[in-house]
Amino acid sequence: MKTNETTNDESSHRENMEALQAEMKKKMNAAQEKRGLLIVNTGDGKGKSTAAFGVLARTLAYGGKAVVIQFIKQSPDAVEKVLRSDKLTWHAVGGGFTWDTQDKVGDIALCEKGWTLAEVAMADPEVKLVVLDELNIVVGCDYLATDRVLAGLAKKQTDQHVIVTGRGAPAGLIEMADLVTEMKEVKHPFTQGVKAQRGIEF
């Protein structure tokens, strides 16, 4: 049996939801523009590339053509095996962790190769999504100049989405982006002596 208190609570909840519904409809009606987005996933927490790959999976599911360029990393992420498709082109152009390669000239050359591939992808009107994985790291190491990268991103197709990942996104990129998400590390197993594990870190 409902009490007056329960009835009042339900009535109050309904009023709040109706007000929220009206507010959300107003916002949705105001948002009519449709265009390609520049998305940045940054911060010291995990999940930056993983979030990008989620969007990648969605793009492929809708039949869109996508290109992934992984800077720094030597081999494609295991996700590539799952998402393998004639609509997907995947480039891993890195030499591995920079503290392992210890070869600045070689690392820069690989980044140049990756950026050339990125420019080609962003110039292709058939490509709906370009993922530039760990590009923020490349810029942070001064392997590619920030101004050059920003100028290249500005030339992307107007209806094309581009996702840039990596910690330490430069201020200019954050300002330029349409959507920026910062992953914050609260707790990490590595600091507790737990090594990187297949399926989690790689």
Residues 124 and 73 in one domain: yes
pLDDT value of position 152: 98
Residues 53 and 20 in one domain: no
DSSP 114-179: HHHHHHHHHH-TTEEEEEEETHHHHHHTTSS-HHHHHHHHTTS-TT-EEEEE-SS--HHHHHH-SE
pLDDT value of position 102: 62
Residues 91 and 2 in one domain: no
Residues 22 and 60 in one domain: no
Each of the 202 residues of the chain gets a pLDDT tens digit; together they read: 566 666 678 888 888 888 889 888 888 888 777 899 999 999 999 999 999 999 999 999 999 999 999 998 878 887 888 899 999 999 999 866 655 566 789 899 999 999 999 999 999 999 999 999 999 999 999 999 999 999 999 999 999 999 999 999 999 999 999 999 999 988 888 788 888 777 777 7
Ramachandran category for residue 80: left, alpha or beta (phi over 0 → left; psi -120 to 50 → alpha) = alpha
- On whether the CB atoms of residues 70 and 92 are closer than 8 A, the answer is yes
Residues 189, 88: Cα–Cα separation, whole Å: 33
pLDDT value of position 95: 62
Domain that holds residue 45: 33-192
Residues 94 and 188 in one domain: yes
Residues 76 and 133 in one domain: yes
- On whether the CB atoms of residues 121 and 160 are closer than 8 A, the answer is no
Residues 7 and 46 in one domain: no
Q: What is the DSSP letter of 159?
A: T
Residues 9 and 39 in one domain: no
What CA–CA distances, in Å, run from 133 to 23, 35, 38, 72, 126?
36, 22, 13, 9, 20
How many domains are there within the chain? Answer: 2
Ramachandran category for residue 144: left, alpha or beta (phi over 0 → left; psi -120 to 50 → alpha) = beta
Residues 10 and 94 in one domain: no
